[in-house]
Amino acid sequence: MSRFFANGSDSESESSEEEIQATNFNKASAFQFSDDEEEVKRVVRSTKEKRYENLTSIIKTIRNHKKIKDIPNTLTSFEDLTRAYQKALPVISKEENGITPRFYIRCLAELEDFINEVWEDREGRKNLSKNNSKSLGTLRQKVRKYIKDFEDDLSRFREAPDQESEAEDEVVALDSDGGDAGDDSDAGVKGEPTQAVPKTAKSVPAKAAPADDDDSDDSIDWDSDSESETESSDDENQYQNMRERFLKRTTEKEDKDDDKRKDKRKEQKIKIRKRAEDDEDGEWETVVKGHVVEKPKMFEKDAEIDVPLVLAKLLEIMSARGKKRTDRRLQIDLLFELRDISDQHNLGTAVSVKIHFNIISAIYDYNQKISEPMKLEHWALLLEVMQSMLKLLLANPDIIMSESVAEEHEEYAAAPFYVRGCPLAAVERLDDEFVKLLKECDPHSNDYVSRLKDEVNVVKTIELVLQYFERSGSNNERCRIYLRKIEHLYYKFDPEVLKKKRGEVPTTTATSVDVMDKLCKFIYAKDDTDRIRTRAILAHIYHHAMHDNWFQARDLVLMSHLQDNIDAADPATRILYNRMMANLGLCAFRQENVKDAHHCLVDLMVTGKPKELLAQGLLPQRQHERSAEQEKIEKQRQMPFHMHINLELLECVYLVSAMLLEIPYIAAHEFDARRRMISKTFYQQLRSSERQSLVGPPESMREHVVAAAKAMRCGNWQACANFIVNKKMNTKVWDLFYESDRVREMLTKFIKEESLRTYLFTYSNVYTSISIPSLAQMYELPVPKVHSIISKMIINEELMASLDDPSETVVMHRSEPSRLQALAMQFVDKVTNLVDVNEKVFDMKQGNFFQRGNMGNRGDRGYNRNQNNQGGNWGGQRRDNRNNRNRNQRGHHKNQQDRQQQQQQQVQTIDEE
């Protein structure tokens, strides 16, 4: 049976068809299939086609999820894609020689771009649901980790993203024909078809790849089979060839489908070539969000461009500010274009300055929410335009720019030129925007460092404005710009100041202290607003304290009386006051004024909220202490991170100062019932440590200070110094000071002196006399220093003793009560107080009602008065008797002490004689 029969020729079809059907009907029943099996054609596909089809279907799913921003399902599909690619790796390494298919690289690049776009859109991220936001972070991490293995392929792809490989062409064709193939039940093939007939499949090549020439056939033509193969198959199985007759029609249809696919591929390649030709000399275009508005023409072609026309166009552009549906981005572009036109036609510097100022206003208007920072591209643009405008103003002294100039009085034709505007307000807003940008960044990231580098440009801009107003400006404007410069200078440490103090640099060297003096003194003399003067004084004190000018800083605080009226100031000024007091306390500590350091820091630390008082963060709310609006306002008041004061350093200095004051005081007034606390915070730390049943070695800073206090209480200065000055405390606290070695030496010296005082207070009732040299040896202090400390204690009546200079001893007078006597006196005081309270209660119950003014009948008034007087006299007599008795006892005790002192003095005089 030849192929002409299979093609169904006209000559043989009538005679042979009936014969075949008649003879083979019964035998063909053995080869009949069910209805479902007849409808579906079996397709034999290669492993490459299966793997690639799986990859392309997942990629298509990912693209659909990206369109609707379904990030959780995108994450799931990405995980499926990585698993499918892992399965396809053997095929890729065999068929593609290990080269990653381009369509897979394209998918990874698109997914990376999509993630970056969503991540950079901060507003959109805030509006994402919790599930989407969580999935976005996970997807971003997995994609960034996964694409590290494809960095070279991605870089090559991004260099030529429009170029498509042959494999990608196949994938595009499959994607485009997928819908048609799915609708037709007979056409189930999605790649190059491979026939189901075994013998015919042997004659087909293993790889059915498209030819290089577009006009060549990609599919297998049944007519190209040899006659010998067809005849041999006819002899072997006649019934199977009957089935082939019906299958051949499907193959013809598939050939037509292949032709359609080839045409589509040709069209796509032609489009890509045209696009590449068009883009050879072109550049990337930035696609903006939202409705695209055509850029209006600035002027007509024949228009004569002069100053009135440009000013009219400027007024037209700026009059659209704030109106609904005004494209603010387009407004900025138009202003830049207008500035370029003005420069091209040489319309004058005054017009250019006016356009510059309006560009600055338009950039400020772009950000509608004043509480949020502006975009970084606008920030860089703003810095550039500000500096350009100020350079024009400084280079042209005949241009006067002021907010006092009315619009109708502006002059652009002849010098002097008058322009309405306020560069001072612009630079103040610039400074505020810079602070907002810093607050928006994570302080521990590189973004914060890169934003902080912009401070150099901000300070340069402030310097330019300062030069302009020094040349032509009122005192009030100069004070305002001076304050801006002070606020960028007062918290910065200048080592040249300390070198100048030590004489290491010439005295003519200008330091930051000299600049601060000049600026602040001008404000003190010329300012007429209390706020600017107050902030200047606070910044001046802060700067002095930072450079260890303790006496200048202290005198400024005392002379200004700021502590009296600071409560009436605005919150920003109060924050600056708190920062100044904190830094002043650190300065006093470095200068060995422990008591002053404690006084400066006690108001901050006793509240337990120094973090909030210094505007360095917010504590968690307790029971809705503040509303959302209050929290938003307080966040706006926070200081940038680089201006923070180390809170652990502050607390450590406070606790150490309190320890050096409190421990000797506790030792001196051990049995005093009316003993007061110098530092409540330190006392609480001490008591909480004493309540613990098991106390281990100290770990935190507070535990180190408490352990040192316990050692000092026993007079053990070495243990105390080791707890305060050690490797861990140096790393956490003391190394943060500028001259840390000097601070550690000062601390050790103070610990020795206060431990000596504590030892004398604690054990003075044990000794009859103490040798001064032995005390000096015990505490490693010079003998004159020990002599000075003991003399001060005797003068201040803290120690009942006398100095014997010839023998260098301290003779104790033993006038202090013993421990038992002190406890007995304390008990007597408490009992006395209890009796007084009982008598008052008794008097209230026994008729004192009438003494308070609520009398009864007139006739009984005298009788009641007599009774009350009698009762009152009886109670008063008891109290008087007891008071006299106590007074006599105290007088007797005092007389005994006087007699003992007189006897001792007589003994001393006799010994001397």
pLDDT at 597: 92
- 887 confidence band (pLDDT: 50, 70, 90): low
pLDDT at 51: 84
pLDDT at 507: 83
What are 521-528's contacts with CB under 8 Å, separation 24+?
522/478, 522/479, 522/482, 523/479, 523/482, 523/483, 526/475, 526/478, 526/479, 527/475, 527/476, 527/479, 528/475, 528/476
Residue 591 has pLDDT above 60, yes or no: yes
pLDDT at 428: 92
Nearest CA to 634 among 609, 602, 605?
609
Q: Which residue has the higher pLDDT, 822 or 547?
A: 547
**For residue 634, what are its two tokens?**
């307080």
pLDDT tens across 734-783, in order?
A: 989 888 889 999 999 999 999 998 988 888 878 888 888 898 888 888 88
The rounded distance, in Å, linking the Cα atoms of 449 and 443 is 8
**For residue 375, what are its two tokens?**
């975009």
CB 757 within 8 A of CB 664: yes
CB 133 within 8 A of CB 125: yes
Nearest CA to 789 among 737, 750, 744?
750
Residue 204 has pLDDT above 60, yes or no: no
The rounded distance, in Å, linking the Cα atoms of 506 and 516 is 19
pTM: 0.60
pLDDT at 164: 58
pLDDT at 546: 92
For residues 88-113, give the mean pLDDT: 86
Q: Which residue has the higher pLDDT, 801 or 913?
A: 801
As a dihedral over the C-alpha atoms of residue 19, residue 20, residue 21, residue 23, rounded to 10 degrees, the angle is: 80
Residue 87 CA: distances (Å) to CA of 48, 82, 95, 107, 241: 11, 9, 14, 17, 38
For residues 650-659, give the mean pLDDT: 92
pLDDT at 163: 66
pLDDT at 850: 43
- 847 confidence band (pLDDT: 50, 70, 90): low
Give the helix ranges, DSSP H, for 280-327: 307-318
Least confident of 200-209, 376-385, 503-512, 573-582: 200-209
pLDDT at 22: 41
Residue 539 has pLDDT above 90, yes or no: yes
pLDDT at 481: 93
Q: Quote the percentage of the chain above a pLDDT of 90.
A: 22
**For residue 817, what are its two tokens?**
């009560």
Place of tokens 């901000």: 458
CB 462 within 8 A of CB 485: yes
Residue 361 CA: distances (Å) to CA of 150, 240, 291, 376, 896: 46, 86, 23, 16, 88
For residues 685-709, give the mean pLDDT: 85
pLDDT at 857: 42
pLDDT at 1: 44
Least confident of 33-42, 116-125, 284-293, 459-468: 33-42
pLDDT at 276: 56
Q: Which residue has the higher pLDDT, 875 or 717?
A: 717
pLDDT at 870: 38
Residue 624 gets the label, from left (phi > 0), alpha (psi -120 to 50) or beta, of left
Contact partners, residue 462, CB within 8 Å, separation at least 6: 427, 431, 481, 484, 485, 488
- Taking residue 396's Cβ as centre, other Cβ atoms within 10 Å add up to 17
Residue 172 has pLDDT above 70, yes or no: no
DSSP state of 411: B
Nearest CA to 44 among 232, 258, 164, 191?
191
pLDDT tens across 437-479, in order?
A: 998 888 888 989 999 999 999 999 999 999 999 888 888 999 9
Q: What is the helix, strand, coil percentage profile of the chain, to 5?
A: 70, 0, 30
Residue 249 has pLDDT above 60, yes or no: no
DSSP state of 568: G
DSSP state of 206: S
Residue 283 has pLDDT above 80, yes or no: no
pLDDT tens across 6-46, in order?
A: 444 444 444 434 343 444 444 444 444 444 444 555 667 78
Mean pLDDT for all residues in the chain:
77
Q: Which residue has the higher pLDDT, 419 or 273?
A: 419
Q: Quote the percentage of the chain above a pLDDT of 70.
A: 72
Residue 838 has pLDDT above 50, yes or no: yes
The phi, psi pair for 864, rounded to 5°, reads -65, -40
Nearest CA to 518 among 545, 566, 486?
486
Q: Which residue has the higher pLDDT, 107 or 300?
A: 107
Q: What angle do CA 519, 522, 527 make, to 5 degrees?
A: 120
Residue 902 has pLDDT above 90, yes or no: no
Contact partners, residue 440, CB within 8 Å, separation at least 6: 372, 373
- 909 confidence band (pLDDT: 50, 70, 90): low
Residue 304 has pLDDT above 50, yes or no: yes
- 653 confidence band (pLDDT: 50, 70, 90): very high
Nearest CA to 546 among 499, 599, 585, 510?
585
- Taking residue 874's Cβ as centre, other Cβ atoms within 10 Å add up to 10
Q: Which residue has the higher pLDDT, 25 or 654?
A: 654
SS3 state at 69: coil
pLDDT at 563: 86
pLDDT tens across 478-490, in order?
A: 999 999 999 999 9
